[in-house]
Every structure is written in C-alpha cells, then in structure tokens.
C-alpha cells in the first residue's frame, strides 16, 4: 500500500500571542457589540496561545484591497511553499537520504485562501529543479478538509502508479482573507481561530524501495463524504472586497451528530473497530470541535494530545493543520502494527478520512 515518508513545514515569520489579538479585536469590534467583553472570552477559552502570520499585527489595522492581498498571497505562497518542500524532501528524521526533486512524479497543491493562474506549484517549479514533466494537480476550495483530501488523492495516485513519489503541498494564508470592515460574529470567531500555515507531505507507491528499516504509515483506505444541502455551514462569500468567512455556530453540534456514524461506516468497511486505533490525527478546528470529537467518538483527551498541541501553538491553519498533526504523530515513532485515523472536516459540509497502519 502507498506510504507516507515525510512531512515538512514552514512557519510564517510573525508569531502573534493570543492576548495581542484580543486587544486588536476589542478595538475593532467594540462599537459593534455591546457585550464585547463577553464575546472576547472565545479568545481565552479557545486553547490557542499563539499563531503565526505572514504580516505583523499592525498591517491588519489598515484596509487592503483584494488585489493587494492576493499579490501578497502569490509571493508568500511560493516562498513558504519552497521552504516546506525542502524541509520535506530533506527530512533526515524519516528519510535515509534526501529525495531529488526530479524523482517527484506529481504535485498536489491544496489551498483555499488565495488565487493564482498559473497555480502556485507551477511557479514553484520555476524556483526548484523539478522535472518539467511533473504532473500538477491543484485543488482549490476544500477549506479545512483539504489537507486530508490531498492525502487521499495522492494515495489513489500511488495505487495507480506504485513506483511514484508524489508531494501534497498545502499553503493556507488565512490572515490575508481578513476583512477589517466585516463586523459580523462570524468574522469575530474567525479572528479568534485562523492562522497561516504551510505543510508538505511526501507519499510513495508500494514499489518504491527506500533501503532502510524505518517504520512508515501505510494508507489502507480513504473515504470522502458530503452532507446534503449544507453549503451554508462553512465557506466563503465572494464580494467586491474579497472573501468573507461563513462560519456556522452549529458546527460543533453537526460534528457531534454526524461524524460518529460516518467514522463507523469507514471503519466497518475495513473491519476495524474504534478501539483498535492507536492514533487520532484529527484536524483541530477549535476547542469546541475537539470537544465534539471526544463526545461523539467517546475518546479521551490524551488521544488528541497532538491535535491539542498544534491548536495551542499554531491555531487553525485550514487545510495545513491536519498535516502538522500528522507530522507530530509521526515524530513520536509509532510502533509497527499501530493503526491511526486521519480526519478533517470542511465546506460542503464534508469530511475526508484515511486509515493508516505503521509497518
């Protein structure tokens, strides 16, 4: 079965403490909400201590056009994408030797926070010495589910081409979608959660021999699920000024009611019980989302410690977040035979899942 060999990340250069964002949000929203002090408790209660952005906090105090923000997205996505790819292909912790760029057969590019034609992976191929025959598969619009979806599509590619090495590159610069003049509660919640993150994963088909004894997670299967008539749960409204966040307050309730049977169907198909899982690589959309995972799946907090830690240190980086969690779990050196589930939820409303086994 296809296996995950390496994960590399790139950390945007402006770390911002959550207390600083609280001060910024109070100044921005206090004229719009009489109960602003009560609403600001979502920042302290969200288990996020720090996030990283491509610009410092002062930049967000001024309005910026869609053109300006998207130009920044293109420039920074290329720069940070190059860093993440290099970290992934030169990851001495999991690779016996660096993987040459020209051995990468395909690049799956995942993003929902900016637009570019030609797409970002094409621009990166003009910076790094990939083969000009590398296949490009840009995927846009899957939001927080995109990282897991990218892994699923890469898995399917490697099933079809077992000698292939492929990359999944996720670049989410959520901060560049911030709308200073949007005084909605959705924007306030988004301001408390979202951050910038970049991650790259190397996956290989079953016939790729690395000539080492390392234990890698193999992908046993995947599942994509769409909830009917749920477009208003999560996503973007596209307006003249740019992208406005759609973020339903019912997301934790939807997860609690919908995710468990979804997971059960997936595991039943592979004859695996929930109790058989050693690792839960779940996208930490926020504290309430993590609580919903615990409630609906009946798992203890220690099973989510890597997801909790990623949320604490980086916030919600949309599609890249679950790849940060994957990196953290892989660094714990799971034992041969350990099983895990990767899951992320996104616009649609939808879910993406993969079943892993180390071996």
Residue 145 CA, chain-centre distance (Å), reads: 7
| Distance in angstroms (rounded) separating the CA atoms of residues 205 and 125 | 22
DSSP letter for each residue of 26-64: HHHHTTT-TTHHHHTHHHHTT---EEEESS-GGGGGS--
CA distance 120 to 124: 6
The helix (run of H) or strand (run of E) holding residue 219 is: strand 217-226
Residue 162 to residue 331: CA distance in whole angstroms: 25
Cβ density class 140-155: b for 16+ within 10 Å, e for less: eebbbbbbbbbbbbbb
Catalytic residue positions, numbered:
144
**DSSP structure string for 86-131:** HHHHT-TTT-SSPPPGGG--EEEEEESS---SS-HHHHHHTTS---
Instruction: Give the count of beta carbons closer than 10 Å to the beta carbon of residue 229.
Output: 8
d(CA 260, CA 266): 10
Q: Distance (Å, rounded) from C-alpha 331 to C-alpha 323?
A: 12
Residue partners of 328: CB distance under 8 A and separation at least 6: 306, 309, 310
For 309-328, the DSSP string reads HHHHHH-B-GGGHHHHHHHH
If one counts every other C-beta atom within 10 angstroms of the C-beta of residue 56, the result is 12
Q: CA–CA separation, 184 vs 243, rounded Å?
A: 14
């Amino acid at each position: 079965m296809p296996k995950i060999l390496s994960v590399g990340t790139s950390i945007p250069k402006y770390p911002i403490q959550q207390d600083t964002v609280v001060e910024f949000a109070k100044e921005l929203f206090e004229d719009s909400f009489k109960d602003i002090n009560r609403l600001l408790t979502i920042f302290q209660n969200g288990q996020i201590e720090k996030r990283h952005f491509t610009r410092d906090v002062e930049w967000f105090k001024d309005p910026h056009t869609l053109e300006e923000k998207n130009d920044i997205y293109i420039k920074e996505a290329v720069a940070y994408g190059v860093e993440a790819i290099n970290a992934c292909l030169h990851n001495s912790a999991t690779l016996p030797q660096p993987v040459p760029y020209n051995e990468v057969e395909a690049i799956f590019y995942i993003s929902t926070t900016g637009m570019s034609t030609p797409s970002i992976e094409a621009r990166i191929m003009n910076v790094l010495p990939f083969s000009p025959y590398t296949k490009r598969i840009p995927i846009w619009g899957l939001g927080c589910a995109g990282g897991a979806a990218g892994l699923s599509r890469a898995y399917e590619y490697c099933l079809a081409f077992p000698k292939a090495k492929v990359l999944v590159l996720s670049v989410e610069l959520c901060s560049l979608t911030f709308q200073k003049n949007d005084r909605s509660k959705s924007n306030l919640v988004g301001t408390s959660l979202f951050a910038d993150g970049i991650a790259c994963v190397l996956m290989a088909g079953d016939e790729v021999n690395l000539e080492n004894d390392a234990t890698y997670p193999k992908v046993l299967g995947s599942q994509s699920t769409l909830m009917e008539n749920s477009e208003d749960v999560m996503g973007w409204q596209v307006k003249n000024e740019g992208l406005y966040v759609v973020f339903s307050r019912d997301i934790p309730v939807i997860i609690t009611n919908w995710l468990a049977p979804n997971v059960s169907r997936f595991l039943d198909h592979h004859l695996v019980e929930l109790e058989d899982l050693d690792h839960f690589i779940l996208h930490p959309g926020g504290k309430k989302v993590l609580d919903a995972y615990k409630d609906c799946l009946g798992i203890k907090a220690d099973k989510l410690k890597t997801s909790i830690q990623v949320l604490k240190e980086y916030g919600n980086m949309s599609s890249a977040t679950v790849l940060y969690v994957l990196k953290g779990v892989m660094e714990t050196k799971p034992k041969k035979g350990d099983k895990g589930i990767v899951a992320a939820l996104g616009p649609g409303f939808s879910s993406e899942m993969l079943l892993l086994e180390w071996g």
